[in-house]
Chains A and B, each alone.
Chain A
Amino acid sequence: MTSVILYRPSASGLQQANPITKLVLAGTLLAAAATIQPLAQLLAVFIVALVPLAAWSRVLALFLRTCARLIWPFALSLGVIQGFFAPGSTILLSLGPLALKAEGLGAAAVFSSRILLGLGSATLLMLTTRPDMLMLALVQRGLPRQLSYIVVTALQIIPSFQSRAQGILDAQRSRGLETEGGVGRRMRALVPLIGPLVLGSLMALEERAIALESRAFMRPGPRTSLCAIPDSRPQAVVRWILVATMIALVLHRVL
């Protein structure tokens, strides 16, 4: 079964930090990505902040690979669009009526770096944070339990939903449903797939509601948790420094 969870455990690094600290860190880096202007500074933040943190958390190779895989479609399309269509006078290459301009490429590089920094901070958060621990930490800070449940369950149930769809598809095929061919045929083949999938999922939903009730999910009163969420005074200080940095970045940009 495929998993949609990126988390990689490690005995050291960000994995051992409080999820809220990591969330605030990602938020601060996102603010940096949105507010910092020069290209060099954007790349410097990536190299000085994200790369060492990823290395400390023992996910550097995976982190860089994920970033590379995420960024190239943006970089390529921004490069083409900005390079050819943004106004500018420094022509690098002429292709008939189109001209590739240095100013456009420069703008594309800045945009791409912003996206890289933003996606990078989100990627590092996901690689080093268990989604359920993050949601638990948020619930302890007042997020509704139901909302947290929806997020965590979605992560786990999507793969099982996919395998259910595959099962129905196979069953319909074994009864002679043709699923290959032109667009029209493929569209028609969806009908006998969607009905059982949706109805089956609704029935499963009813049983899952009973299961949650039997496990005291809706019971009022205080709750405990099996996993302790790590936290410390220094981390709280780090959080406040990050929040202050975030505010400073935004103010600096706005004023």
Chain B
Amino acid sequence: MIEISGLTFTYAGASSPALRQVDLSVERGQLCAIVGANGAGKTTLCYALTGFVPHFYRGSLTGSIRLAGREVTKSPPADLVGEVGLVFQNPFNQITGARFTVREEIAFGLENLGVPRQEMVERLEEALDITGLAELAERSPFALSGGQQQRLAIASVIAMRPRLLVLDEPTSQLDPAGTREVFAALRAMTARGETTIVLTELKLALVAAFADRVVALAEGCVVADGEPRQILASETLQAYGIGETRYTQAARRALQSGLAPADRPLPVTLDQAVEFLR
């Protein structure tokens, strides 16, 4: 689905690259989580996957990103839209302001894609349903809370049914229940095999529970890449300031005090932690 090779990008005016020699390939239907400390290059990678780097944020780019046989670094965002969807961090600035209700705001992208009205209504209902916004459909987008606006930003992009969905910290303003709901919805989208998702996230416990794959970035480089359990419980992540889940922390303590045998793999989810301590 996506094949990134040797991607290096330096923002115009910056002294050091934001991404260095990034190699990454994501298969169709995968939910790939990018973790990393602030300033590690997560957002830049999201922009690169959607063509905003280097077409909107200028700079010098080397390497390539191939998406279903097409070179993303050479395609302006307008050509990729519909194929690739981007949800970025600040939910307020993702509200276009072109429409007066939540329902119409979600429809805005579909109108621009020329989706017929009947199909538009179906996709709208589905997006409202997935993001739990059905009851707010007639409200003004500007009258929503931060978390609700974040759901709206996600709904607006998933209604466009991109084959690659890129989300940059999509749950930063959501409460724990809302965060789980969004992750479960994204998981369900990939389960149908139509959508590939790349997201950045700081909440490692959710990454552990929902991602197929974890990629750790530090100072623009990929420093770890693999299965969530293998990556999130590894010592390397600690060294890059990424941290670890509470389950892993608890397990380490248990190991220190001799509560569990040393040969077991460290857990990253609740279920694994229960298994670990049994």
Q: Which residues of A contact B (CB under 8 A)?
A: 1, 5, 130, 132, 149, 152-153, 156-157, 159-160, 204, 207-228
Contact = CB atoms under 8 A, between A and B. Distances in A.
A228 B90 CA distance: 32
Interface string B79-114: 001100110101011111111100110011111111
B54 interface: no
A211 B95 contact: yes
A204 B92 CA distance: 9
Interface of B: 50, 52, 56, 77-78, 81-82, 85-86, 88, 90, 92-100, 103-104, 107-117, 120-121, 124, 140, 142-143, 153, 156-157, 160
A214 B114 contact: no
Given A130-B100, A132-B98, A210 B90 contact: no
A213 B114 contact: no
B115 A224 contact: yes
Nearest to B99: A132
A226 B104 contact: yes
A206 to B, nearest CB: 8
A214 B80 CA distance: 9
A213 B98 contact: no
B interface, over-half SS: helix
B85 A214 contact: yes
Nearest to B112: A216
Contacts of A221: 114
Given A207-B93, A219-B78, A219-B81, A214 B157 contact: yes
Given A1-B143, A216-B82, A204 B93 contact: yes
A153 B98 contact: yes
A219 B82 CA distance: 10
Contacts of B82: 216, 219
Contact of A208 (B93, B104, B115, B143): B93
Given A210-B86, A213-B81, A219 B142 contact: no
A225 B114 CA distance: 8
Given A160-B142, A216-B113, 12 more contacts: A130-B100, A153-B98, A204-B92, A207-B88, A208-B94, A210-B56, A213-B56, A214-B85, A214-B157, A215-B160, A221-B114, A226-B117
A230 to B, nearest CB: 14
Nearest to A136: B111
B120 A224 contact: yes
